[in-house]
Structure 1
Amino acid sequence: MSKNNVFGSTALLSTLALTISAAHANDANSQTNAKTAVEKEKEAIELIEIHGVRNSIYNVRKSGDARRLVDLVDMPTTITVLTKDQIEESGRSDLKEVLSTQAGVTLGTGENGNAFGDRYIIRGHEARSDVFVDGLRDPGMNTRESFSVEQIEITKGPSATFAGRGSSGGAVNSITKKASLGYDFGRVDVGVGSDNYLRAAVDVNTPLTDNFATRINIMTAKEDAPKRDGAERERQGILASGLYDNLEDLKIWTDFYYLNAEDVPDLGSTMVNGEIIEDIPVYAQEGDFLNSEAASGTLRVEYEINDAWKIYSITRYGKTDNGYLATSAGGTTGYFTEEDANDRVNGFGTFTFGSHSNYQDVEHFATQLNLFAELKTGSVEHKFLVSGEYADYSVLNGRYTDIGSIDSPNCWTAGRGGVGQNFCAIDANGNTATNLNNIIDRSQAVKGDFTSDYSYEVSALSFMDTMQVTKDLMLFAGIRIDNYDYSNLTNGRNGEALYEFSDTLTNGHLGVVYEVLDDINLYASYGSATNINGGESDVGGNCGYGGVCTDSQGSANAEPETVRNLEFGTKMSLNDESLFVQLAAFRLTKDDIMEGAGSGYEVTGALNTGKHEVKGIEIAMNGQLTDELSIQISAAKMDSEILESASNPDSVGLPLALFAKESLYAQARYQLTEDFAFGGDVTYKGRMTGGQPDTGSTGPEVPSYTVYNLFATYNFSENLTTRLNFGNVFDKEYYTSTYRAPKFMYIGDRQSIRATVTYEF
């Protein structure tokens, strides 16, 4: 990280803030900005309702991102918001689990297994680098948990005006819990269940004085993957937040976040002769691991200059250390003897083991300054935003060495390396070998040389204006300019190579919203986003997966990939603004795609030669259908097609890899009595096939699946609540993602039962 640039950019943003503040000091002194007693009381009541253990909130009117200046119903874009209560009642905790259920979102694997797992695909577009926390990018592939989250927002369609580079299919933004003067409460959650499940969390918000408050969130959790004994998950986390509020015009929040996740990874099943091996045993070796440790500190400042002008800034510094060593299964043919293997006779279907490892050390700094203004020009009312941002991300990737080899071969196999001795996990009679978890000695594994040293530094400026032209007509216009410096020192099969370039990206968003009836809007929008060559930080010079891509002469100079989205829809706020409904039709076109040469392993490919399109419809509902019935529903029906390809012309006309044409998620909660509520959720994902990003689907098929979950809650008192979660009610074995070869066929969670007791004090 460049310290001069960090401190220089911070000083620039701070100077801008102080200049604006000084210019309006007289106005500020003449204004009375203190909240009235009535306003304070109303805020306290609302917050108590949100955090009381007897309540469950599914309805959301506003985004938690301070830059989103209007209600969700007035935004000319598709945003799905998941509340803390929805997430808790579903029984899910990791961000990957939460997002895997959502319509229009699928999971991916990656070369080398990418066991970090946080690879999201939104509307067919890679989004693994488009994960944000409170509006700042959260780089890297670390494990992410929901214990510290107030709500999760999934933006669909290009989001570059807010997010910057990437974000071509959308972005994910988690809104964290913050300290508040508005309430004084403590909450303890303790859960136990099948598969050695244990989870405990504490959330305490305390006003210390009239001006200071603190909030502490602590979580610890441990479990075996449901019905996958030997695959384990363990989490410990803390979020400590503090607030200073002068009760007039200034608020300052600070927080510290820490999460340590230690798993024994399970890379799932594989195929033998085109058939998925069902009920495959957990074959993870002793010594396999998936560890992620993240720590960050954040400073937020909100200053009301006067009734019309406000400043909000956020600054974060963080580090994550991630690493995994995982075992995969590869379907193959086993032979009794070397002669049989050479002659390809007397073979039997089986699977053998592969080893996959990676480490990733991430350091990130980002600061963002936002100036808000509510102005009027003639009869037009403006909500105006100027936002400046500086960020510096560095990611060091590498692999582990001395990861062990098979100690006790029991068969012969024939592969790309020829005929050799191997270990066949299934014998000729279809029986699983004994001692399956001790075939490879992992005890000597150590970090090896780096494979890529990635750095991305950016200064950005954006302008947004929401214009209330008439009582019924609203316009939105936004533009963002990103000036970046990129470098990536790769260390691959052909030695080290340094790639460096700089560029300026310009993206915009135009939208119009027309209110045809009270709280029923029609909207149209057009937005763009750009992806840079080598923008994915985890793959170095792997052109086929978003790493640096060169042409046959070794040049990495390329135009950015461009995504354009045209969207039409309607949004409604019904039932006295307690039910939100949206329907959208969209078309996403991606041009100038960097294409891998076909193998996916090499840096050489084709620059700006690919093109594809995704189009579809999406519907979403959340809130109160009746006083007793809360719902959250999202459904998508999409089509994708490769339109142009120089590297893989046979893929033209094919759908995208890891793309589900139909998907549905529905969660409902019914309050039967004052103390008893029950509900559940269902997830449906249509079939999809494996492959690389932005390529045609030519890999193994992931079957469609439908999974049902149930929950029930009972309030014993004003302060004590219990909840029972019954996961995967019918114990369905299903698969969430695959690779372009069936070495990774990720298995979704099997049946589980969990009971949680919540006490508020």
Structure 2
Amino acid sequence: MPSQKTKPNTHVAKTVALAIALPNLAFAASTESVQHLPSIQSNANTETSFYAKESSSSKRIQPLLNTAKTTQVLTEQTLKEQNLLSLQDALATTPGISFSAGEAGGTLGDRINLRGYDAKNNITTDGIRDTAIITRTDLFNYDAVEVNKGSNSVENGAGQVSGGVNLVTKMPKNKNEHLVSVGLGTDDYTRFTGDFNQIIQDDIAVRLNVMAHRNTYPGRSEDLKRWGIAPAITFGMGENTQFTLAYMYQKDSNDPLYGVPYFNGRGVNGLSPSTYYGFKNLDQIHIKNSNGLFKVDSQLSDNIQLHSVTRLSNISQSGITSSPRGIFCSLEGLTPVAKTNANQTGYTSCNQRGRYIPDAQRFGFVNNITAKQFANDTNLRLTFQNEHIKNTLVTGIGFSQEDYTRLLGGLLFNSNGTRITLPSTDLYNPNNYWGGATNFRASEYASGSMNSYYGYIFNNTEFGQHWLLDLGIRFDRTESQYTSQSYSATTQQITATSPASQNANLFSYSVGLTYKPIEAVSIYTSYANSQKPTMDAANNPCIATAVGNTCNTKPESAMNYELGIKWEINPNLLFTMAGFRTESNKVRIQGADNSNTVLDGKNYINGVEAGLFGQITPQWDITTTFAWMEGKYKQTTVGNVPDYQKGNHVMLVPTYSGRIWTTYSFNDQWQAGYGLTYQGKMYTSTQTAQNNRFPQIQSEDYFTHDASITYKFNNNLNVQLIGRNLADKTHYTNLRAGTSQHNSSGFALPGAGRQTVLNINYNF
């Protein structure tokens, strides 16, 4: 398969490279000595309350106050006080994010939509790409979740159209500190975590995090179980050179969260959101997440610092699932369908009243995946200054090797390979037990690989006390391959498909200018691009067929413009506000000749986001964010093909969304907290020929309320009672929308119902 190369914009490349190089050439001739640092200068999160002053990224040069882009950091305290356990729990408190359902409606993996664009492959751990499509169910071994918003390929590589999410691993600290927490609650909630940090020699520290957890999904019946362990050791603690070895293992045994039927932006009238439509004795998902990390930080001289992270991971997820597909025939003899101009009610007649006639194809569905990765990122930080200018340059290289396999099949087959016909069941109280035959039949096996090699330069120049200029460039080379084969259900005979391969050269850049009228205020503007090849991860193949070929298509590209202000109201309180526009002007769509896809698609997202993080007073803490967004499709077809979606709103973009969490300490013993989440309406369909250009469907908006009460017995012991979704509001989170068959119809996972948890925390 011929490789495709993206020709960099040489004029832009030369201009940015020259701008980065000039300050350093000048400083080489005349520099003053830089103050000697006695130990490693870490970019780990330094937070007061809910305000993280720095990013953990070694590529970030300035504190967040002086960084020309929007970054929201969910600190360890933010996660603990709100009892945010999973990655989705955490991201649900961030505006501008929505969640989609996986294949056939299931939530297989973290399906994140960030500012209107798919971000499932935009997750990093300690700055290293982490593209395994698994559900990250627990944050027990992470200090923070960093949400970087706006095009960010320059920092994290392929994709990153609208930003990405970085998980910050817990590392040993230079102090003795131990914390044990036990949680008990409704829905069979039981949880134990331990975080033990110990200095074993003057320059050696170890840290051990452990977790065991079980609960039933609030408001439903799915059982969720997991445990994990994460040891780490640091040599050279407090010295100029530090080496850290860390390892994490987590195992999950869960019932699949496949939710309920969801049509036309709503749950189906008369059906309880707690109903389970699968087979509990068959359905299961098992996850094994094993990863190791080797980190080096070294102060090589007064103005040169080395940072290197190597990550090795081996992840597997095996699932047997049953999704709610079929005919849902109500007692009135009506079954829901997608609305069209020909059927504006969203219902059609059916014969078996009060019965659910399941689609056997997606019952007992087997989906087993493995994802392995070996990656390294190494950079040098160089600082130069004279009496007028201070310049800091970060330059680095890295590589990532990703390997992926996937086996699909089913269990509900007769011994001769014919599919079992499932009987109908009570629509309102369906049978959840399968007592018939089970015979595994494979349907598809696929394997993919992606090797990435990259280099980057980031430069920050401070001109006096008022101006800062940030420049960044990055070049990625990706080499990807994907093969698959299908199986006959009856004979299991193998039919191989054409192997797919794609190579791409990606050039990314960013520019930011910050003006500081006073030390506590930053007014900034920034511009950045993104590059996204069809195969942006080992699990995401291109299509090598003659019709609809995507392997021969160059990478998609997008630009992000941002104008904002950050104000440190007091040393512990930060206000941020920014307006942004993300333009995707080269999006893959079907070509006029029905062969290769072409980059003629266009869409955009406009928005405003504001936040307040930290301490208003020593007793009053707050973290609150709010966003408004609007997106439109500008072009989705070429040639003479009617463009029904032109002017439509981009799907799964909440028009308004926000979250507030605030706590107040009445005295040394008592603290109360309150939280409010709002998720606005989202479009779940587009206009198509199939639905006769029926107007776009919107989902329902919703509010949820949370609260907590904490009592502190002494400096070592406290208890916290926290309630989530206090009003027990029925709402839907992971939406399966815009499918090719139904467009506005699919499946959705109901959001967690009311839950109460008592946490007992003891530190020593």
Q: TM-score, normalised by structure 1?
A: 0.84
The separation in 2 between residues aligned to 1:184 and 1:104, in whole angstroms, is 39
Q: Is the counterpart of residue 70 in structure 1 residue 75 in structure 2? A: no
Q: In the superposition, relative to structure 1, how do residues 208 and 553 fare at CA in structure 2: closer, same or farther (>3 Å)?
A: closer
1:179 aligns with 2:172: yes
**Post-superposition shift, 1:176?**
1.0
Say yes or no: does 1:348 pair with 2:353: yes
Indicate conservation of the 8 Å contact 1:690/1:697, yes or no: no
Q: Residue 370 of structure 1 corresponds to which residue in structure 2?
A: 379
Aligned in 2, Cα 1:175/1:738: closer, same or farther, shift over 3 Å? same
- Counterpart CA distance in 2 for 1:209 and 1:335 is 70
Aligned residue in 1 for 2:196? 204
Give the letter aligned to residue 281 of structure 1.
T
Contact 1:139 1:364 in 2 (8 A): no
Distance in 2 separating the partners of 1:646 and 1:442: 47
Structure 2: gaps of 5 or more residues? 1-33, 336-347, 488-494
Give the counterpart of 1:101 among 93, 104, 113: 93
Contact kept, 8 Å, 1:534 with 1:548, in 2: the verdict is: no
Task: Say whether 1:736 aligns with 2:725.
Answer: no
Structure 2: how far apart are the matches of 1:620 and 1:100? 15
1:216 aligns with 2:213: no
**Alpha-carbon deviations, 1:308-343, whole Å to 9, x = none?**
00101010111000122222223625499xxx9xx9
Q: Which residue of 2 aligns with 1:17?
A: none
Distance change in 2, residues 1:344/1:301 (3 Å):
closer
In the aligned structure 1, how far is the partner of 2:378 from the partner of 2:566? 30
Counterpart Cα distance in 1 of 2:175 and 2:328:
64
Pair 1:146 & 2:139 matched: yes
Deviations 1:197-253 (A, max 9, x none): 100011100100111110000001000111212x01111111111000164421101
Q: CA deviation at 1:377?
A: 6.3
Indicate how the Cα distance of structure 1 residues 744 and 345 shifts in structure 2: closer, same or farther if over 3 A, else same.
Answer: closer
Q: How big is the shift at 1:443?
A: 5.5
CA distance in 1: counterparts of 2:259 and 2:66, whole angstroms: 43
Confirm whether residue 270 of structure 1 aligns to residue 275 of structure 2.
Answer: no
CA distance in 1, matches of 2:460, 2:135: 36
Contact 2:375–2:401 under 8 Å retained in 1: yes
Q: CA deviation at 1:275?
A: 5.4
Structure 2 equivalent of residue 653 of structure 1:
647
What are the Cα deviations for residues 331-365 of structure 1, in whole angstroms up to 9, with x where unaligned? 625499xxx9xx97645365443434422100100
Shift, 1:701, TM fit: 4.4
Q: Say if 2:84 is the partner of 1:85.
A: no
Which residue of 610, 628, 645 maps to 1:637? Answer: 628
Determine whether 1:166 maps to 2:163.
Answer: no
Choose the corresponding residue for 1:476, options 470, 478, 497: 470
Q: Which residues of 2 match residues 302-317 of structure 1 at below 5 A?
A: 302-317=297-312
CA contact (8 A) 2:674 2:706 kept: yes
Residues of 1 paired with 2:139 and 2:616: CA distance?
26
Separation (CA, whole Å) in 2 of partners of 1:191 and 1:386: 45
Structure-1 residue corresponding to 2:248: 257
Q: Distance in 1 between matches of 2:93 and 2:647?
A: 28
Q: Tell me what 1:119 maps to.
A: 111
SS at match of 2:516: strand
Q: Which residue of 2 aligns with 1:758?
A: 761
Report sequence identity in percent. Answer: 21
Cα gap change, 1:247 to 1:750, in 2 (>3 Å):
closer
- Name the structure with the higher helix share: 1
Following the alignment from structure 2 to structure 1, what is the Cα–Cα distance between the partners of residues 367 and 591? 23
- Deviation at 1:190? 0.4
Contact 1:525 1:567 in 2 (8 A): yes
C-alpha deviation, 1:704, in angstroms: 1.1
Name 1:562's counterpart in structure 2.
557
Are 2:236 and 1:245 equivalent residues in the alignment? yes
Give distance in 2, aligned partners of 1:555 and 1:619. 38
Give matches, 1:340-489, under 5 Å: 346=351, 348=353, 350-353=355-358, 354-355=362-363, 356-376=365-385, 379-403=388-412, 423-426=423-426, 431-433=428-430, 436-439=431-434, 444-445=439-440, 448=442, 450-489=444-483
**Which of the numbers 577, 595, 599 marks the counterpart of 1:608?**
599
CA distance in 1, matches of 2:134, 2:216: 20
Deviations 1:521-564 (A, max 9, x none): 11000000111013254454xxxxxx547662746211110010
Per the alignment, residue 708 of structure 2 pairs with: 711
Contact 1:266 1:282 in 2 (8 A): no
Cα deviations across residues 670-720 of structure 1 (Å, max 9, x unaligned)? 11111111112111111223369x999988643211111111111111100
DSSP 3-state at the match of 2:618:
coil
Cα distance in 1 for partners of 2:518, 2:387 equals 25
In the TM superposition, residue 113 of structure 1 has moved relative to its aligned partner by 3.3
CA distance in 2, matches of 1:246, 1:84: 22
Instruction: Select between 322-331 and 66-75 the one with higher mean Cα deviation.
Output: 322-331
Instruction: Supply the RMSD in Å over aligned alpha carbons.
Output: 3.3
Instruction: Give the secondary-structure state (helix, strand or coil) at the position aligned to 2:406.
Output: strand
CA distance in 2, matches of 1:440, 1:649: 49
Q: Indicate if the aligned counterparts of 2:548 and 2:597 stay in contact, CA closer than 8 A.
A: no
Say whether the 8 Å CA contact 1:373–1:385 is kept in structure 2. Answer: yes
Contact kept in structure 2, 1:663 and 1:685, CA below 8 Å? yes
Say if 2:656 is the partner of 1:662. Answer: yes
Would you say the 8 A contact 2:180–2:193 is kept in 1?
Answer: yes
Deviations 1:106-153 (A, max 9, x none): 101233335323011110011100111110011211222210111110
| Residue type of the alignment partner of 2:353 | F
- What do the CA deviations read for 1:38-63 (whole angstroms, capped 9, x no partner)? x99xx9xx99x98xxxxx82121111
Contact 1:549 1:604 (C-alpha < 8 Å) held by counterparts? no
CA distance in 2, matches of 1:548, 1:720: 58
Give the aligned residue type for 2:220.
Answer: R
- Summarize deviations over 1:397-423 as a string: whole Å, max 9, x none: 221332458xxxxxxxxxxx9xx9754
Flag the 1:161–1:272 CA change in 2: closer, same or farther, 3 A.
Answer: closer
Task: Report which stretch shifted further, 751-760 or 283-292.
Answer: 283-292
The 2-side partners of 1:706 and 1:370 are apart by 44
Which amino acid counterpart does residue 66 of structure 2 have in structure 1? D
Q: 2:324 is matched with which residue? A: 329
Kept after mapping to 1: 8 A contact 2:664/2:672: yes
C-alpha distance in 1, partners of 2:471/2:748? Answer: 43
When residues 432 and 672 of structure 1 are mapped into structure 2, their CA distance, relative to the original with a 3 A threshold, is: same
Contact 1:567 1:587 survives alignment (8 Å): yes
Distance 2:116 2:462 in 1: 34
Q: Which amino acid aligns with 2:725?
A: N
SS of the residue corresponding to residue 90 of structure 2 reads helix
What TM-score, normalized by structure 2, do the two folds share?
Answer: 0.83
- Separation of aligned partners in 2, 1:538 and 1:486: 10
Q: Which amino acid counterpart does residue 196 of structure 1 have in structure 2?
A: D
Instruction: Name the aligned partner's letter for residue 133 of structure 2.
Output: M
Residue 208 of structure 1: SS of its match in structure 2? strand
Alpha-carbon distance between aligned partners in 2 of 1:69 and 1:78, rounded to the nearest angstrom = 15
Q: In structure 1, how many angstroms separate the alpha carbons of the residues matched to 2:143 and 2:250?
A: 16
1:169-214 alpha-carbon deviations (Å, 9 max, x no partner) = 110001111012x210111000011111100011100100111110
Given the superposition, is the C-alpha separation of residues 652 and 369 from structure 1 closer, same or farther in structure 2, using an over 3 Å criterion? same
1:744 alignment partner AA:
F
| Residues 460 and 482 in structure 1, CA contact (< 8 A), matched pair in contact too | yes
In structure 1, the gaps of 5 or more residues are: 1-29, 51-55, 406-416, 541-546
